[in-house]
């Protein structure tokens, strides 16, 4: 892992299966992005699906990522153009799109994120185009080369069409959504055998299709990490800014009480 790699190289590193460390950002202020980036995380994921981010706040946090030298991805609220285009115009290095349960949905999100062969709305006047400094073709080429598109596989319907989803051009990676899969399978934990089987099925399909694999874990010392690495996961989203803060606070409290 190289914490000094330029954020623009995130997609290249993802496709090369480098071991990458990130976390979700749930707090709508810039400071967690600056702190997490400055200590050397490879990327952060702004969570627009489950946390309160408007477009102005999103723009500020992407700027914070640039200041800290870390790649910023956005978990979009949906696969619609209105949720994919703004983060990319603001300069995000990619998007995670939830509930990609069919090849049709996968094709749509890839098209919304790409210029050539897709239907991404053009502008080079935003941060992504360096406020007009990037010429037309320069911006198109750089955006298509550097934008990572990650499909979140977290629905039972997706398990039946993994080969078709994997065949979609412009889709770079599978995120294995073990939380939603647990709910869908009617079990109470991601470590349940049913979820393990589904995870291994998704990973096998991703490897066969040449897609990178990404997963979330609560802790990097979790026993799940070695298993996930063994099935091909190379990008790990560990906890969240709030989860990391809570864990540090609990440890500090325990250390304080030990004084007594």
Known catalytic residues? 50
What does the block give as tokens for 62? 């992407």
What does the block give as tokens for 170? 């412009």
CA distance linking residue 241 with residue 13, whole number of Å: 23
CA distance linking residue 152 with residue 73, whole number of Å: 13
What does the block give as tokens for 154? 């977290």
What does the block give as tokens for 102? 């069919």
Element spanning 73, H or E:
strand 71-75
Element spanning 179, H or E:
helix 178-184
For residue 84, how many other CB atoms are within 10 A of its CB? 27
What does the block give as tokens for 1? 């892992």
For residue 115, how many other CB atoms are within 10 A of its CB? 17
DSSP label of 129: G
């Amino acid at each position: 892992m190289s914490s000094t790699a330029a954020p623009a190289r995130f997609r290249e590193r993802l496709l090369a299966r480098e071991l990458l460390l990130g976390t979700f950002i749930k707090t709508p202020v810039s400071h967690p992005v600056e702190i997490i980036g400055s200590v050397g995380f490879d990327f952060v994921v702004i969570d627009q699906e489950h946390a309160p981010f408007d477009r102005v706040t999103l723009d500020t946090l992407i700027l914070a990522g640039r200041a800290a030298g870390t790649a910023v991805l956005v978990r979009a609220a949906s696969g619609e153009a209105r949720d994919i285009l703004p983060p990319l115009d603001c300069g995000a290095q990619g998007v995670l799109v939830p509930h990609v349960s069919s090849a049709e949905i996968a094709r749509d999100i890839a098209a919304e994120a790409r210029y050539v062969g897709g239907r991404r709305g053009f502008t080079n006047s935003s941060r992504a185009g360096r406020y007009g400094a990037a010429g037309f073709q320069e911006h198109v080429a750089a955006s298509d080369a550097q934008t990572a598109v990650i499909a979140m596989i977290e629905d039972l319907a997706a398990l039946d069409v993994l080969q078709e989803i994997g065949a979609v051009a412009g889709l770079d990676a599978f995120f294995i959504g073990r939380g939603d899969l647990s709910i869908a399978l009617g079990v109470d934990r991601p470590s349940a055998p049913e979820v393990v089987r589904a995870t291994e099925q998704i990973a096998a399909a991703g490897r066969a299709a040449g897609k990178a694999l990404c997963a979330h874990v609560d802790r990097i010392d979790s026993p799940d990490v070695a298993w996930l690495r063994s099935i091909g996961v190379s990008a790990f989203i560990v906890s969240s800014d709030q989860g990391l803060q809570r864990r540090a606070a609990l440890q500090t409290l325990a250390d304080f009480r030990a004084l007594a």
